A = this chain, B = another copy of it.
Amino acid sequence: MKLIDKINKALEDDRCFWSFEYFPPKTQQGVMNLYDRIERMCNLGPLFIDVTWRWGGKSSDLTLELCSNSQTVYGVEANMHMTCTNTNFDLIRSALEKAKDQGVQNILALRGDLPDNSVEFDPEVGEFKYATDLVRYIRKTYGDFFCISVAGYPEGCLGPDDVDCDIRYLKEKQDAGADLIITQLFYDVDNYLAWIDKCRAAGITIPILPGIMPIQNYGGFKRMTDLCRISVPQAIWDRLEPIKDDDQAVKDYGIEVAVDMISRLRDAGVRGFHFYTINLERSTRMVLERLQLVPTVHEVRPLPWSPSLNEKRAGENVRPIFWRNHTRSYIKRTALWDEFPNGRWGDSRSPAYGELVHGEQVRLAAGQAQKKWGAPTTVDDIKRLFVRYCRGSLDSLPWSETALQPESIEIQQRLAQINARGFLTINSQPSCNGVPSSDKVHGWGPSNGFVYKKAYLEFFASPENVKALLARLEGNPTATYYAVTKGGELLTNCQEDSPNAVTWGVFPGKEILQPTIVERVSFLAWKDEAFEFWNAWSSAYARDSASAGLLGRVSDDWYLMNIVENNFQKDSESIFELFDGLGQELADE
């Protein structure tokens, strides 16, 4: 979708909106971390994200990949930067074709830095002199297909003397076909507002989004503002000086500055704000929270998981619960499906999941594994890690890169208890019986609706523990389960292969949406992936070490099991009662 349409809609509704800019990290682990960050930050409801650009096969491919994956996997619209200095028509054309192929429809057209910081354009090398040329080329070649944004320089591209000249260039960019303007970062709000007036006076009518960069640390801030010749009000320097060596204090003050700037801009009628995140999350989050720029549940969560913006998957609205913390893997393993389930999980879905690619879906930084999880040598050591994760004192486990889902916070003590007894949970949801769709924790979907969940637990457990649990489940009319070993030995009380809807919502004027299901075939596909994490973890230790041996044995012998308590009108306690007295307590608990 074109950004300008989303922006015009927001402006029409007189609604504030915001966007986040990221740059492609240099390492594979950095890229993985950025993906997780983008996914989390999507909950802050950005209207779109930007990804910066550097020419060069690997680098520009990564920008495109980040844009395309963010759209497909996290369902957030991406605006891809593209520079034109020292390029030619063929290069640009080829990059735009790739973007089009990948469903990226928004381009921020930039001139880009000249080599060696020279200021001279070399007509021998490049066929584009100014960003305007790139805008014109894109419009000429692709008509209305792309939404084109351009950069604005409230303090002049080359300094304050340049401002009027810059505004003329900006008007030219608009005339060449630009749809909107995103500005350079700035800290002088009065100057910015005056510049806006000048732009409007010069006939610039397209939307202008101010660039906001929360100050992160003193040194970086000083270098950046010097380099870009950005004027910083003396009052800011005065406040920074005494705290310049205290990074946390600087960050906190940076948040204060950004909050103050946005408040003033908002009072002046500005509605859209573009955050230069430098790939950091906290400051941007804090600024938005302080300003109570909190998106409605409806905007952020049309479904309990992020619907893909990939055109092919547009109708998709049902997924198995198993990949909840592994969206990218799910998207990848279903990429070759011809049809995506819409409304129900049925024959419409292709029967086969794509192969699990070793080391890609299942990724652990070996060094980090030892640092985070130590070197477990007993089952109790493993149980302790899971208990700590449930209690929030450990921020990740191989199966969960991030903290417990917010909805599971209400059951975290109960989760910790069963983990202590050897039922190692990797996924869970509490029951939910007709909560308004606007509920901050459980809500999703259109307003005036009601959402529901069946309590769900997924865990690894030893054969003895599974046996004891199965005895207890016998004759239970409302709990259904699947348990499977790495080797594929399946135990279940589900008589049919029909999927079980575990999350659904009822909305005015609509069919029931049932976006999350539990189902045999999917569980068996997920099983391989879930067990693979034991191997990945194990390989962080020397092959003949006690830790590697332990993790390998657990992986070989234990079951992966899920239980659904189908009576969603009971509270979550009833699924946990199944475990009361089972397993063995931790000695030190």
Contact = CB atoms under 8 A, between A and B. Distances in A.
Interface stretch (A43-51, A410-418, A503-511, A550-558): A503-511
Contacts of A512: 501, 504, 512, 514
Contact of A509 (B345, B494, B504, B509): B494
Contacts of A343: 343-344, 346
Contacts of A94: none
Nearest to A343: B344
A478 interface: yes
A574 interface: no
Contacts of A447: 477
A565 B91 CA distance: 58
A88 to B, nearest CB: 46
Interface residues of A, number: 36
A506 B564 CA distance: 13
Given A434-B434, A448-B567, A511 B345 contact: yes
Looking at chain A's contact residues, is the secondary structure mostly helix, strand, loop, or mixed? Answer: loop
A433 to B, nearest CB: 7
Contacts of A498: 509-511
Contacts of A569: 434, 450
Nearest to A347: B342
A517 interface: yes
Interface string A134-173: 0000000000000000000000000000000000000000
Contacts of A495: 509
B509 A566 contact: yes
Nearest to A452: B506
A577 interface: no
B517 A499 contact: no
Interface in A340-376: 342-346
A21 B570 CA distance: 45
A102 interface: no
A345 B447 CA distance: 22
Interface in A530-575: 564, 566-569
A60 interface: no
Contacts of A501: 506, 510-512
A496 interface: yes
Which 7 A-B pairs give the minimum distances between C-beta atoms? A508-B566, A343-B344, A480-B509, A501-B511, A500-B509, A512-B512, A512-B514
A342 B346 CA distance: 10
A299 B495 CA distance: 18
A478 B566 contact: no
A474 to B, nearest CB: 15
Contacts of A514: 511-512
Interface in A476-496: 477-478, 480, 494-496
Interface string A396-439: 00000000000000000000000000000000000001100000
A496 B511 contact: no
Contacts of A494: 509
A295 B499 CA distance: 28
A346 B510 CA distance: 12
Contacts of A478: 448, 508
11 contacts: A343-B343, A448-B477, A448-B478, A480-B508, A498-B510, A499-B510, A500-B510, A501-B511, A504-B506, A508-B567, A509-B566
Contacts of A508: 477-478, 480, 500, 566-567
A566 B448 contact: yes
Interface string A255-294: 0000000000000000000000000000000000000000
Nearest to A517: B511
Contacts of A448: 477-478, 566-567
Nearest to A447: B477
Given A448-B566, A511-B517, 15 more contacts: A343-B343, A343-B344, A343-B346, A344-B511, A450-B568, A450-B569, A494-B509, A496-B509, A498-B510, A498-B511, A499-B510, A500-B511, A504-B506, A512-B512, A512-B514
Contact of A568 (B342, B496, B506): B506
A343 B452 CA distance: 18
A98 to B, nearest CB: 33
Contacts of A510: 498-501
Contacts of A344: 343-344, 511
A452 B508 CA distance: 14
Contacts of A506: 452, 501, 504, 568
Nearest to A500: B509
Nearest to A479: B508
